[in-house]
Amino acid sequence: MEVTKIENVTRVFKIGQVETHALRGVNLSIESGEFTALVGPSGSGKTTLLQLIGCLDQPTSGQVYINGKDVSKLNRNQRADMRRGTIGFIFQFFALIPTLTAYENIEMPLLLNGLGASERRERIMHLLESVDLTDRAHHRPDQLSGGEQQRVAVARALATKPALVLADEPTANLDTPNGKQVMETMTRLNQETGVTFVFATHDPRVISYARRVVTLRDGVIVENSTEELVGSGDKA
């Protein structure tokens, strides 16, 4: 089943009289359960494409479908509803609320979705266990390492049981051992839950975890490889 489908999408940014074509007629389908990397140099369009898939932006032309729904023309509130119910996000800079504990950061999207207290607790404790942070549940971000903060972010992204998790350079601010642990966590959760992961990166160590690699250059897809790329221990 297709989780997202991109049809002839362009994205043009205009500042004054200057136009920048970030995406040029992109077509892409991503199936349920995929673990896909969007790769390419800076300015290739990978982050723009990720933002369109995540309903954080709208295309200049073309259609973006999420779970069969055309989200291209949704207004801001409708896009927010789509994000809250269908999409989880993992950011380069973690984006945790500094005054909240790990437990409370994971709880936030569940509160916004109106889950009851007992269901929230059960789900949060399961997620903390799944990212090996049960003993850090009541620590604030400034009491956690970068790798631990990103694993909290992974758990938060999965809290609402989304169909799709998007990650923008998820290991860019981590050292090699922490980056490896985060990618191994994401890989395992993809396999265990069947949630689709799409992540943008230019790091070869991160790319090595992908089971599909979509390469962009100058706003177009230049390669779309579904070759099994997962190695045996030299990743991240």
DSSP states of 183-222: HHHHHHHHHHH--EEEEEE--HHHHTT-SEEEEEETTEEE
Query: Is 231 inside any structural domain?
Result: no
Measured CA to CA, the distance from residue 182 to residue 198 in angstroms comes to: 14
Whether 215 is in a domain gets the answer: yes
Q: What would the pLDDT profile of 13-52 be if each residue is shown by its tens digit?
A: 998 889 999 999 999 999 999 999 999 988 899 999 999 9
CATH code of residue 146? 3.40.50.300
Side-chain-side CA neighbours of 5 within 13 Å: the count stands at: 9
Distance separating alpha carbons of residues 220 and 173, to the nearest angstrom: 27
In a domain, 87, yes or no: yes
Are 190 and 13 in contact by the 8 Å Cβ rule? The answer is no
Do strands 164-168 and 87-90 pair parallel, antiparallel, or not at all (unpaired)? Answer: parallel
Burial of 17 (0-12, 13-18, 19+ CB in 10 A): exposed
Tokens 């077509």 identify what position? 27
Q: What are phi and psi for residue 184, nearest 5 degrees?
A: -65, -35
In a domain, 165, yes or no: yes
With respect to residue 85, please indicate whether it lies within any of the assigned structural domains: yes
Q: Is residue 234 part of a domain?
A: no
Task: Tell me whether residue 38 is in a domain.
Answer: yes
Count: domains in the chain: 1
pLDDT tens sequence across 73-101 = 889 999 998 888 899 999 888 899 999 99
Averaged over 155-162, what is the pLDDT? 94
Structure tokens given for 218: 């100058």
Residue 235 banded pLDDT, cuts 50, 70, 90: low
Q: Which domain holds residue 60?
A: 2-225
Confidence of residue 230 (pLDDT cuts 50, 70, 90): very low
- Are the beta carbons of 36 and 210 closer than 8 angstroms? yes
Residue 97 lies in a domain: yes
φ, ψ dihedrals at 13, nearest 5°: -100, 130
